[in-house]
Amino acid sequence: MLAGIILAAGEGTRMKSRTPKVLHCLCGKELLRYPVELLGRAGVDRIVVVVSPANQDAVKELLGDTVEYAVQPAMTGTAGAVKAAAGILKGQAQQILVIGGDSPLVTDESVLRLIGGHQEEGRQMSILSGIVEGSRGMGRISRDQGSQQNVLGIVEAVDDTERDGQPVEVNSGVYCFEAEWLWENLAKVDAGSGRESYLTDLAAVAAETGGSVAALPSNDPDEVLGVNNRVELARLEDIQRRRIREHWMLEGVTISDPSSVMIDAGVTIGQDTVLLPNTMLLGNTSIGSGCEVGPGSVVKDSSVGDNCRVTSSALEEAVMEAGVDIGPFSHLRPGAYLESGVHIGNYVEVKESRFAAGAVMGHFGYVGDASIGANVNMGAGTVTCNYDGKDKLRSVVERDAFIGCDTMLVAPVTIGEGAVTGAGAVITKDVPPARLAVGVPAKIVDR
Ligand code: UD1
Ligand code: CA
């Protein structure tokens, strides 16, 4: 069996944050979810996340029972963190994959290559490495100068500052261990006086005791980078955003100015959709095929069907079925639901309301807590007066009604099927089907 240990107990002091480091987001997804999902895809049978007494509640809230947890009682370093998982995993697995909770860019390909090579060669320890310029705080692989270039150990950056500016082979913090060997040798790298225990010291232990250790350089130097502070968070997010855009472009999405477009990790986009400059697709959003989104649209946690147009507009927790268009400069707030063929023009705000198929609102106005029937025409300036200072109240406009410009629908109120309101009407009572209501407050008159 192959087990995984994700190290996530560190204090993340360098983030200077009240939020635990591994819960900071990269492209809309918590750092810690990257290795959890990666190990899941790599076929790791059991995943143990090492947490601290301080962050365990927050981490457990994020991951629930999708993983197992080990609590590291004191921050004694990365070797101490692995030791905390021994209680759960000792005697359970043949191999152990270890990865940091702050390494979101590691790829499936590299992890599978690391595991495959480790198992084939029968090593004690395999390390994923990468050649990086300006490696700052990362541990460096040290190799002998012979033809084999055997790994001698890992030197932490603090002990190797003269190589800081140069390209060096660094340790990604992803390792595959022979489990028995790991548990036997962990005690040898306990915390020394005045310094944390380094898991990385196991590389030298393996080299010295004749055990076999190897470092496999990645083809993609970006993936070995970790997040220790917010400068690195931004740098890694930039890399990940580029990867996400390239993924969707290769899937058939046109992005005319890629660097200005942000697509979160949880977003899906259909073929032949065009993303115009300065567009942000965030959170759990899906965009259908054949759409045009942007310029300058922000779509968060929303679903947009096929063949829609979202021009310079903001959507949050909203749904657009197929063939809907909106904008420029309109705002769908939580609970807005536009059925197919709805047209929303400029300066319209919709909240907690459903527009049935074919309903139209071309110009400025506010629709909240309302149900708008099929083929209704909402005139310019229509407002649902949905709040009386105490409660939110509903407006209903039945199918085929025609709401004149500047109508105030003072909720609760129902406009019957096929009814008409005059320009500037203030509707305080229900209007029966097919009737005409005019005036302030509106009176129902013959048509
Ligand atoms: C570590 C490696 C370094 C490597 C880098 C890759 C060591 C000593 N150094 O350095 O060689 O290049 O990762 O990103 O391992 N953690 C715990 N408990 C602790 C301390 C840390 O769980 O007591 C966790 C942290 O939450 C983090 C991970 O282990 O997710 C790595 O710790 P961190 O302090 O970030 O190590 P680096 O200095 O980045
Ligand atoms: Ca780190």
pLDDT tens figures, 149-197: 999 999 998 888 777 778 899 999 999 999 999 999 998 997 766 788 9
Q: Who's near 403: CB < 8 A, 6+ residues apart?
A: 376, 377, 378, 379, 382, 397, 409, 415, 421
Ligand 1: nearest atom to the Cα of 154:
11
Active site residue 24: no
Q: What is the pLDDT of residue 166?
A: 81
Cα 363 to Cα 23, 81, 360, 414, 419, distances in angstroms: 42, 59, 9, 22, 20
Q: What is the pLDDT of residue 363?
A: 98
Q: What is the pLDDT of residue 357?
A: 98
pLDDT tens figures, 366-419: 999 999 999 999 999 999 999 999 999 999 999 999 999 999 999 999 999 999
**Inter-residue contact 213 to 127 (CB < 8 Å):** yes
Q: What is the CA radius of gyration of the chain?
A: 29
What is the pLDDT averaged over residues 243-247?
Answer: 98
Ligand 1: nearest atom to the Cα of 8:
26
Secondary-structure percent of the chain, ordered helix, strand, coil, rounded to 5: 25, 30, 45
Ligand 1 pocket mutation, candidates 5, 14, 55, 78, criterion most atoms within 8 A of CB: 78
113: left (phi over 0), alpha (psi -120 to 50) or beta: alpha
Q: What is the pLDDT of residue 157?
A: 87
Bridge partners (DSSP) listed for residue 443: 438
Residue 203's nearest CA partner among 236, 164, 154 is: 154
With a pLDDT cut of 90, the percent of the chain lying above it is: 91
Q: Among 19-33, 197-211, 286-300, 413-427, name the one with the lowest average pLDDT.
A: 197-211
pTM above 0.85, yes or no: yes
Does residue 173 have its Cβ closer than 6 Å to ligand 1? yes
Say how many C-beta atoms besides its own lie within 10 A of residue 388's C-beta. Answer: 11
Q: Is the model's pLDDT at 209 over the cut of 90? A: no
Q: What is the pLDDT of residue 193?
A: 63
Does residue 224 have its Cβ closer than 6 Å to ligand 1? no
Q: What is the mean pLDDT of the chain?
A: 96
Domain boundaries 2-224, corresponding CATH code? 3.90.550.10
Q: What is the pLDDT of residue 158?
A: 86
* CA of 31, nearest ligand number: 1
Q: What is the pLDDT of residue 97?
A: 98
Q: What is the pLDDT of residue 147?
A: 85
Q: Where are the domains of the chain?
A: 2-224, 252-445
Q: What is the pLDDT of residue 195?
A: 82
CA–CA distance, 330 with 223 (Å, rounded to integer): 39
Ligand 1: nearest atom to the Cα of 75:
23
Q: What is the pLDDT of residue 431?
A: 98
Does residue 156 have its Cβ closer than 6 Å to ligand 1? yes
The model's confidence at residue 98, banded by pLDDT at 50, 70 and 90, is: very high
- Specify the 3-state DSSP secondary structure of 35: helix
Which position has the higher pLDDT, 236 or 210? Answer: 236
Q: Is the model's pLDDT at 211 over the cut of 80? A: no
Q: Which CATH superfamily does the domain covering 252-445 fall into? A: Hexapeptide repeat proteins (2.160.10.10)
CA–CA distance, 302 with 287 (Å, rounded to integer): 8
Amino acid at 332: L
Which residue, judged by its Cα, is nearest atom 8 of ligand 1? 198
Does residue 175 have its Cβ closer than 6 Å to ligand 1? no
**Inter-residue contact 404 to 420 (CB < 8 Å):** yes
Q: What is the pLDDT of residue 192?
A: 66
Residue 156's nearest CA partner among 168, 148, 144 is: 168
Which position has the higher pLDDT, 293 or 211? Answer: 293
The model's confidence at residue 324, banded by pLDDT at 50, 70 and 90, is: very high
Q: How far is the CA of 283 from the centre of ligand 1 (A)?
A: 28
**Inter-residue contact 17 to 109 (CB < 8 Å):** no
CA–CA distance, 324 with 183 (Å, rounded to integer): 60
With a pLDDT cut of 70, the percent of the chain lying above it is: 99
Q: What is the pLDDT of residue 111?
A: 97
